[in-house]
Structure 1
């Protein structure tokens, strides 16, 4: 199985100048745990995750804080045919919880560490029977 098979939700992105509140609202509306941030040219420059929002709130940042201030970049991306175990290894090596998945350099979605690990776990469980 590969990471592309885990992409089930559309890629959600906002301009890097969007506020932290806007990012949180879009996450809620789209039921996603991350939002990709883009610059004026439409290039991907960062990713904001639920964890980033939580840290910012805990640090007392105002909700109007630009998302680019709390986002992380550069965004690590992989091609859709990357095997799940390799994705898991990459996430551990880079100490990240989200990967941008591309199809021939076109972004198609984001997969989380939880999704990758749960899928591998289920595959191992199914193989044991």
Structure 2
């Protein structure tokens, strides 16, 4: 189903560890054209997220030798892989996030960005418009009833 988040998850899952250098994380983001990385511990459990904004803050502070753990966000809210697009978007808006890890149990399946969700909404809108256009061929725009061979429906509004 198009409204499921799993269609829009960025893969492969790219992760870093807290003790990795911020420079390494930055290179990973640049090399893969992404804006965030999931931070995991030695048990592969999500412990944070590091984003472009975190990197900018560190470099603005002049802290070029920082580790991921020095600047990552530790309060991470993830969503489950079966989450619908609306719920994921609401989670982002309510918490001021631009990226969300997508998890199932203890396993990270990917990450979804605000850009991914905007694309999903555009896709859903296009699908909805296609359905409306197809239904408009045979139904009245006022009442939705089928238009007869003379161009009129039960409400009398007609096809014009």
Asked if these proteins are the same fold (TM beyond 0.5), I'd say yes
Match of 2:40 among 16, 22, 38: 38
Higher RCO (CA < 8 A, seq sep 6+) = 1
Segments of 4+ moved more than 4 angstroms: none
TM-score by length of 1: 0.88
Listed one character per residue, the Cα deviations across residues 61-111 of structure 1 (whole Å, up to 9, x for unaligned) are 22x201111100122111111110111111111111111112344211000
1:42 offset after TM fit, Å? 3.0
| Larger displacement relative to structure 2 (35-44 or 20-29) | 35-44
Larger Rg: 2
Whose strand proportion is higher, 1 or 2? Answer: 1
* Contact 1:79-1:105 at 8 Å conserved across structures: no
Give the secondary structure class of the aligned counterpart of 2:44: coil
CA-atom RMSD in angstroms: 1.7
* Contact 2:46-2:108 at 8 Å conserved across structures: no
CA distance in 1, matches of 2:69, 2:22: 9
CA distance in 1, matches of 2:32, 2:118: 22
Aligned length: 128
Match of 1:18 among 7, 17, 20: 20
* Contact 1:52-1:70 at 8 Å conserved across structures: yes
Residue 118 of structure 1 is matched in structure 2 by: 119
Give the secondary structure class of the aligned counterpart of 1:107: strand
